[in-house]
């Protein structure tokens, strides 16, 4: 059993350590993680700069790139065989609802999915930055990793796990919920009198809809959401087809020809 562990909080994060320690009970764990915090980096891939991978211990690599780089480089370059599983986390802070599109933790699992390796992303959904007891989340990661390996995931699918702080009441399979973002930009002045701005500083809310990741975690359940990479809104396809783009294109052509004459 070969498990690749990564994260977006950086290789020195206690969440990564707790996860790697627990997964070691299942097999060989190779950590390939960013050499510094890269939270909210999304699915960024470094294509225009060299990457370094420094061996910082046995089966432990610090990569000078993003979580996606770490998974890509790990699978294609550093490991001699394809891993059986990629686990990303344990992130400090939740990754639910629309936040998933920003998450480096989730993107690392996406990258593994693109490479045909089963993956799960796991986050500790604590609002408090002081709360850093990852032990329960690490134990849950191990349980879910075993389930993934036992049952296999549907094609192009990975799972996103959010663990509430404290002792969870159980596990719920959920759908992606809806964030309510505060439209707040903090503007201030630097010591040289120039304006600077801070985005994402406002209070975050969420729609407390039953069946969602937010609802589960808010009720002290572990949330397990199956995700896939196809972002198509299938329900909207027919509606867009009714817009009849082609006659519009012909109109544009006619107008263009008219202009030339
Ligand atoms: Mg993070």
For 4-60, how does the pLDDT look when each residue is reduced to its tens digit (9 = 90+)? 999 999 999 999 999 999 999 999 999 999 999 999 999 999 999 999 999 999 999
Cα 74 to ligand 1 centroid, rounded to whole Å: 19
SS3 state at 30: strand
Map 60-122 to HEC letters: EEEECCCHHHHHHHHHHHHCCCCCCEEEEEEEECCCCHHHHHCCHHHHHHHHHHHCCCCEEEE
39 CA to centre of ligand 1 in angstroms: 4
The CA 40 to ligand 1 mean position distance, Å, reads 7
The per-residue pLDDT for 200 is: 84
Ligand 1 midpoint to CA 231 (Å): 23
CA 236 to ligand 1 center in whole angstroms = 33
The CATH number of 2-178+208-234, from 3.40.1210.10, 3.40.50.2300, 3.40.47.10, 1.20.272.10, is 3.40.1210.10
For residue range 78-94, list pLDDT tens digits in order: 998 999 999 999 999 99
Rounded to an integer, the average pLDDT of 182-196 is 92
Kindly report, residue by residue over 98-123, the tens digit of the pLDDT.
999 999 999 999 999 999 999 999 99
Ligand 1 centroid–CA 19 distance in Å is 14
* Alpha carbon of 253 to ligand 1 centroid (Å): 49
pLDDT tens sequence across 225-261: 999 999 999 999 999 999 988 888 888 777 765 555 4
* pLDDT top residue among 155 and 255: 155
Residue 261 CA to ligand 1 center (angstroms) comes to 59
């Amino acid at each position: 059993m070969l498990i690749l562990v990564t994260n977006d909080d950086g290789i020195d994060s206690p969440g990564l350590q707790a996860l790697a320690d627990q997964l070691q009970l299942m097999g060989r764990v190779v950590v390939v993680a960013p050499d510094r915090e890269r939270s909210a980096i999304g699915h960024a891939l470094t294509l225009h700069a060299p990457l370094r991978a420094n061996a910082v211990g046995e089966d432990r690599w610090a990569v000078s790139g993003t979580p996606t780089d770490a998974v890509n480089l790990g699978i294609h370059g550093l490991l001699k065989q394809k891993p059986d599983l990629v686990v990303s986390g344990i992130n400090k802070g939740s990754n639910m609802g629309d936040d998933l599109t920003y998450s480096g933790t989730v993107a690392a699992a996406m990258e593994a999915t693109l490479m045909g390796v089963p993956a799960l992303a796991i986050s500790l959904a604590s609002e408090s930055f002081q709360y850093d007891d990852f032990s329960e989340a690490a134990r849950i990661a191990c349980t879910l990793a075993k389930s993934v390996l036992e049952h296999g995931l549907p094609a192009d699918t990975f799972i996103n796990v959010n663990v509430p702080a404290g002792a969870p009441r159980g596990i719920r399979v959920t759908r992606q919920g809806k964030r309510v973002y505060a439209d707040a930009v903090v503007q201030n002045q630097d010591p040289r009198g120039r304006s600077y701005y801070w985005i994402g500083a406002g209070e975050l809310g969420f729609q407390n809809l039953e069946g969602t990741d937010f609802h589960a975690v808010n009720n002290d359940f572990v949330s397990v959401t199956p995700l896939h990479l196809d972002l198509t809104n299938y329900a909207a396809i027919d509606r867009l087809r009714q817009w009849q783009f082609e006659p519009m294109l012909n109109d544009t052509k006619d107008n263009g020809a008219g202009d030339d004459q």
